[in-house]
């Protein structure tokens, strides 16, 4: 049963994990083209197989989908019978925190399909089902949203786009100050940096984790175009976010967006910032631009010098608006 409890803190992603959770995409109302769904499932399998070389991976899928999933995933990836619609475990999966006694809890952000834009009958139940299976209590914060919509450094600071939170499709009637108070409580943080973001142009209302990521206390990695288009709402919002981070006196490192991509689509998300930090490794996207792929690899390596950087082709995720970070959710170590 959900309850309120003060004193929680969400550990930084780079702290040690017990496992990574991922979700198996199956809903044909979301993915009507079987051929593309096959490619998307293989991409999820590739990510899961890669992460499993660093830490345990648990893939969530209904029992009837296990046989098919097992043909793509390695034996190192565990399958749990928890039904799914889509793959975005960062958003519909559980946000783990530690309580004041150091025990794991689920700090619940209520998932409503990014403002009821997509079917989520199964995905909306995942946090509760994992709570039961893991015997980890759910702590409610009375806030609707997604973990991909807020970045935390694990040391008291959050950043987010207003468009993903101060939005009637998620939190009608709540002011930004009220939402901030609830987010700070959910993450065990002290302060927050807001930027405007972009409403209504993508399903997430511009999640921050596709643009900027904390790599340590006071340190940020951001993905920016070399030549911003002042007619592009996302470019304008990205520059605003960058300016706000600089004004907050953070150490901000820039990775350029790829100039050349294998997928030529205006809606394609090409984010190097949407990487995943697992035990001993960083799993990052590559997009086929030799120069910027190399810059991203070297920059991330500089931020995580003790980890192996592994680059994957995850273009299928970019085609549906996300990346590696969006498809993963870490469970912190209980030791």
- Find the range with the poorest average confidence among 17-21, 68-72, 105-109, 162-166: 105-109
Integer Cα distance of 178 and 176 in angstroms:
5
Tokens of 19: 């496992």
Could you tell me whether strands 57-61 and 77-81 are parallel, antiparallel, or unpaired per DSSP bridges? parallel
State the pLDDT confidence band at 6, using cuts at 50, 70 and 90. low
pLDDT at 7: 78
Report residue 1's pLDDT band, with 50, 70 and 90 as the boundaries: very low
Q: Which of 126, 109, 97 is nearest to 182 (CA)?
A: 109
pLDDT one-digit tens code per residue, 245-292: 999 999 999 999 999 999 988 889 999 999 999 999 999 999 999 999
- Residue 329 CB contacts under 8 Å (≥ 6 apart), including other chains: 20, 21, 22, 89, 90, 93, 94, 95, 147
Quick one: pLDDT at residue 144? 97
> In the numeric block, which tokens belong to residue 326?
């969006």
What is the pLDDT at residue 108? 85
**Residue 271 corresponds to which tokens in the numbers above?**
């984010």
Side-chain-side CA neighbours of 182 within 13 Å: the count stands at 21
* Predicted confidence (pLDDT) per residue in 209-233, tens digit: 999 999 999 999 999 999 999 899 9
Q: Is there a contact between 198 and 21 (Cβ–Cβ < 8 Å)? A: no
Record the tokens describing residue 323, joined without a space: 């990346």
- Mean of all residue pLDDT scores within the chain: 96
Q: Quick check: 110 and 74 in contact, CB under 8 A?
A: no
Tell me: the pLDDT tens digits for 297-327?
999 999 999 999 999 999 999 999 999 999 9
What's the CATH fold of domain 17-332?
Answer: 3.75.10
Q: What is the pLDDT of residue 266?
A: 86
Q: How far apart are CA 271 and CA 222, in angstroms?
A: 9
Q: Is 153 left (phi over 0), alpha (psi -120 to 50) or beta?
A: alpha
pLDDT tier for residue 4 given thresholds of 50, 70 and 90: very low
User: What are the boundaries of each domain within the chain?
Assistant: 17-332
From the DSSP assignment, how many helices (H) and strands (E) are in the chain?
A: 9, 16
Contact of 272 with 255, CB cutoff 8 Å = yes
Supply the pLDDT for residue 141. 83
| Percent of the chain with pLDDT strictly greater than 70 | 98
């Amino acid at each position: 049963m959900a309850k309120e409890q003060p004193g929680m803190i969400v550990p930084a992603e780079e702290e040690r994990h017990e496992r990574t959770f991922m979700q198996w995409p199956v809903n044909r109302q979301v993915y009507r083209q079987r051929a593309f769904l096959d490619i998307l499932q293989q991409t999820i399998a590739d990510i899961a197989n890669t992460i499993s070389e660093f830490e345990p991976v648990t893939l969530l899928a209904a029992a009837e989908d296990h046989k098919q999933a097992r043909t793509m995933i390695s034996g190192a990836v565990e399958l749990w019978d928890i039904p799914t619609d889509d793959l975005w475990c960062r958003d519909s999966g559980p946000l783990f925190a530690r309580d004041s006694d150091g025990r794991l809890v689920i700090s619940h952000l209520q998932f409503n399909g990014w403002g009821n834009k997509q079917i989520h009958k199964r995905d909306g139940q995942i946090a509760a089902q994992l709570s039961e299976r893991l015997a980890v209590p759910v702590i409610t914060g009375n806030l609707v949203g997604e973990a991909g919509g807020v970045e935390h450094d694990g040391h008291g600071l959050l950043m987010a786009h207003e468009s993903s939170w101060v939005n009637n499709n998620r939190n009608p009637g709540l002011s930004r100050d009220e939402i901030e108070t609830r987010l700070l409580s959910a993450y065990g943080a002290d302060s927050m940096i807001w930027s405007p973001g972009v409403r209504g142009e993508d399903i997430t209302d511009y999640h921050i984790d596709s643009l900027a990521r904390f790599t340590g206390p006071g340190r940020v990695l951001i993905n920016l175009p070399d030549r911003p288009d002042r007619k592009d709402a996302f470019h304008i919002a990205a520059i605003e976010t960058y300016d706000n981070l600089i004004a907050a006196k953070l150490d901000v490192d820039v990775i350029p967006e790829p100039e050349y991509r294998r997928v030529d689509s205006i809606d394609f998300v090409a984010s190097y910032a949407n990487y995943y930090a697992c035990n001993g490794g960083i799993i990052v996207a590559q997009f086929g631009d030799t120069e910027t792929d190399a810059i991203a690899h070297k920059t991330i390596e500089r931020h995580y010098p003790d980890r192996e950087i592994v680059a994957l082709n995850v273009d299928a995720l970019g085609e549906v608006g996300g990346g590696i970070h969006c498809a993963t959710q870490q469970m912190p170590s209980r030791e």
